[in-house]
Amino acid sequence: ELENVKANHKQTEKKLAKSEELYRLIAESTGDVIALTTFTLHPVYSYVSHSVKVSTGYEPEELLGKSPFEFIHPDDKKKLFPILKNYVNTKLKKIFTGKELPTTKRIEFRFKDKEGNWRYLQSTVNIVGNELLFITRDITDYKKAEEIIKQSEKKYRTLFENMPGAYYRTDKDGNLIMINPEGAKLFGYNSSEDILGKNISQHLYFAPEDRKKYLKGLEKNKGNLKDFELTLKKKDGSPLVISDTSHYYYDKEGNIAGIEGIFVDITERKQNEKLQQVLYNISKAANSPITLNQLYKTIHQELSTIIDTTNFHIALLDEKENKIYFSYYFDEKDDISSIQKYDFSDTLSAYTIRTKRPLLVNRKQIDK
C-alpha cells in the first residue's frame, strides 16, 4: 500500500512538472508579458516572462523582487492602487464567505522602460491562488497612432468649423448628414443641428427640376462639378445664389455613397453684375436715337429686373417754379394722368430729393 502511495505521488509530481513545463513554454513563447506578483498591498514580482525584454528592455531577473509600482507612472498609480486594495479586501471576504474572486477589467498604465521612456501597457489581472497574474501587452504604438488620429481630427474639425465657405455632405438620397456652422448660417439656421437631416431637394431648392439639372450635370462630368451656379432658398424663403463645387464620395465597396462639396454665396456678386448690366443698358439707350418717352420705357423695363416697378413714375423738378412734372408714370391702382404737375414744397418726393436718400414708409408714417 505504501508503495502504491509513493508511486501515485511520483506520477502526480511528473504530471505537475509536465504541466508547469507546458505553462512555462506557453509563457516564454507568447509576445505578451506574463508576470506573477505577491498578493499584497505592496506586491513584488515573483515571475516575469522573457518577452518583457522586448517591450521594456529589462531582463526578467532585473524585475524579480521589485514592485511594479516602482516603474508605473505616478498618475497611473493613483488609478491602480484602489484596484489592488479592492482585491485584498475581496480576498479577506472570501475567507468568510467562500465566494469566488472576480477577474478585474482590463487596465491601462504607463511603465518606465530601461531607457527611461514611458511605454503604454495594457494588462488583464487575475487572481491565481495567493498571487496576481498579469498578462500584459505593449500598446505604445497604438496609443501614438490614436493620438495622431485625435490631433488630425482636431485639426480637421477646426478647419471644418472655421472655413469661410459652406462645406456640406449628403447621403445618396440627398439628406444633409454634415454641414459646417458657416453653412448653417448661410441658409439662415442658428446651428448645424437645425439643418442636418433635411433633404436638399425639398428644403433648399425652389424647384425640384433644378436639382435634377444639377444631378445630371454631376453625372455628365464624371462625378465632379466646379463653380456650378444654383439659386437655392434660405430658411425664410428668400433666394440665395451660390456657386457649387462638388463631387461624389464612395463607400468601401466603391459605390456612390453621396455628394460632398462647398457652397460659396455669390448673391451680392450676381446682384452687382445685374446692376452693372442695367446701368449699361440704360446708358446705351440714353445714347441711342430714340424719343424721350421710349427712353423712359427702357428705364422702366430695365429697373424691373432688379426692383419691383409695378407702380413706377419718373418726375422732373422745376426748381424755379418749385413744382414737379410727371414725365412718365405707370400705376396699377391710381390714375394720375390728370395730374401734370404739383407743388413740390411739402411732399415725400421733396424729402427724398433734399436728402438724396431712398425712403420706405407705411400709411401711419405718411399720416404723421
pLDDT of residue 245: 92
Q: What is the pLDDT of residues 55-80, one digit of tens each?
A: 899 999 999 999 999 999 999 998 88
Q: 12 is written with which cell numbers?
A: 502526480
- Predicted TM-score (pTM) of this structure: 0.52
Q: Give the CATH superfamily of 18-143.
A: PAS domain (3.30.450.20)
Render pLDDT for 8-53 as a digit per residue (tens, 0 to 9). Answer: 556 655 555 554 554 555 555 567 899 999 887 788 999 998 889 9
Q: Where are the alpha helices (DSSP H) in the chain?
A: 2-29, 52-56, 60-63, 74-97, 140-162, 181-186, 192-195, 200-203, 208-220, 267-286, 292-303, 348-355, 363-367
Q: CATH 3.30.450.20 spans which residues of the chain?
A: 18-143, 163-262
- Residues 334, 303: contact at Cβ < 8 Å? no
- State the span(s) of the chain assigned CATH 3.30.450.40: 271-367
The answer to whether 241 touches 229, Cβ cutoff 8 Å, is: yes
Architecture of the 163-262 domain: 2-Layer Sandwich (3.30)
Give the residues across from 123 on adjacent strands: 107, 136
271-367: CATH number = 3.30.450.40
Which stretches in the chain have pLDDT values below 50? 5, 19, 22
**For 260, phi and psi rounded to 5 degrees?**
-135, 150
Model pLDDT, residue 29: 55
pLDDT for the residue 22: 47
